[in-house]
Amino acid sequence: MKRVFSGIKPTGHLTLGNYLGAMRRWSAVDQHEADALFCVVDLHALTVDHDPGRVRRLSRQAATLLLATGLDPQLCTVFVQSHVDEHARLSYLLECVATDGEMRRMIQYKEKAAAERARGGSVRLSLLTYPVLMAADILAYGTDEVPVGDDQTQHVELTRDVAVRFNQRYGRTFVVPRTTHPEVAARVMNLQDPTSKMGKSDDVGPGVVYLLDEPEAVRKKIMRAVTDSGSEVVHDREARPGVSNLLEILAACEGGNPNDLAGVYETYGSLKKDTAEAVVEFLRPVQQRHKELCADPAYVEGVLREGAEKAREMARPRVDAAYRAIGLLPAG
């Protein structure tokens, strides 16, 4: 059975982009078809200015939402990255295989470092090196497939390069993973700036739909979405990014194809109205389940504890093998 691994960063409240681009497939497909692990990658949240209490709260919330979207601990492994030491253990080894040039070419590093500098802050070294930690997250489990949104493609490519290089230098140790993306909504765009990704740490709050937004807030954000000049409803990401984003969100929530849906609408207003209702209905069961799970924190803690135990057992042999292969003396 193939092995699948993916994760979510507790840097903000989870968004519709996270759900449509990644999490949805984890519960609908991956947990049924693969030996799958899903992780709250909390160490990644420490790469930018952070508040410790907020990271803890968001980690708990992210784990609860993963379960609320339908991840079933009987079918897959759900855990928190920092509970499994193997990730950090392997990361250092991979830092000895990846290069400084590779790290500096990462688009997310360039963008986030530039934003940090513009704010007058200093850039944490971990912002530069975290793609290697992500490679360790993936490679520790012998992962075949990494289901992610479009923005993570470059990081998975780096993971492949590092795995191939390690295997060539030190002997075959790692599986070389491949990326999978959803057919629609692999990159959900910000409703107020449809040329930028809808991100959970965006400053432009009205352009971001959060999974726990009240229905009225969802409606308001979608009805106020920036659309394009012109009035014809067409799916063309380059020329009509705003309308195309709405068509993709609608298609992802209701099923169907954005090109076909474009033919159904004559006005932006009617498209927005239907998209808003589709998103509200799409989020309703997740919000309901989240509420139930919040009332039972011991259950969520138990899932994470057992998940970490299982993950540790799965990761340790391969990480130990990597330590031996690279030339480190076994502890005995």
Query: Which positions lie near ligand AQP, rule CB under 6 A?
Result: 8-9, 11, 17-18, 21-22, 148-149, 151-152, 186-188, 197-202
Tell me the β-bridge partners of 8: 40
Distance of CA 245 to the CA centre of its chain: 19
Q: Which is nearer to ligand AQP, 153 or 167 (CB)?
A: 153
Closest distance of CB 44 from ligand AQP, Å: 7
* Burial class, 39, CB count within 10 angstroms (exposed 0-12 / middle 13-18 / buried 19+): buried
Nearer to ligand AQP, 134 or 322 (CB): 134
**Whether 220 is catalytic:** no
Q: Is 197 a catalytic residue?
A: yes
Query: 6 has which bridge partners?
Result: 38
Helix, strand, coil in percent for the chain, rounding step 5: 60, 10, 35
Q: ∠ CA 161-41-97 to the nearest 5 degrees?
A: 25
Minimum CB separation of residue 10 from ligand AQP in Å reads 8
3-class DSSP state for residue 179? Answer: strand
Which residues are paired to 178 by β-bridges? 145
CB 63 → ligand AQP: shortest distance, Å?
13
200 as an active site residue: the answer is yes
**Alpha carbon distances (Å) from 32 to 57, 82, 93, 128:** 29, 26, 33, 35
Write down the catalytic residue from 9, 197, 221, 272: 197
C-beta closer to ligand AQP: residue 62 or 300: 62
The CB-of-254 to ligand AQP minimum distance in angstroms stands at 17
Nearer to ligand AQP, 109 or 166 (CB): 109
Given 9, 110, 112, 272, the catalytic residue: 112
Which position among 2, 9, 110, 200 bears the catalytic label?
200
State the angle between helix axes of 107-118 and 125-139 in degrees (0 to 180), rounded to the nearest 10.
Answer: 150
Q: Which is nearer to ligand AQP, 84 or 186 (CB)?
A: 186
Contacts of 33 (CB under 8 A, 6+ apart): 2
Q: Which two tokens stand for residue 238?
A: 């380059």
Beta bridge partners of 39: 7, 79
Nearest distance from residue 23's CB to ligand AQP, in Å? 7
Q: Which is nearer to ligand AQP, 11 or 173 (CB)?
A: 11
| Cβ-contact 262, 234 below 8 angstroms | yes
Smallest separation (angstroms) from ligand AQP to the CB of 304: 17
Hey, which residues does 5 pair with through a beta bridge?
A: 37
The CB-nearest residue to ligand AQP is 21
Compute the distance between CA of residue 37 and CA of residue 20 in angstroms, rounded to an integer.
Answer: 18
Q: Yes or no: say if 23 and 43 are a contact pair by the CB < 8 Å rule.
A: no
Active site residues: 112, 197, 200
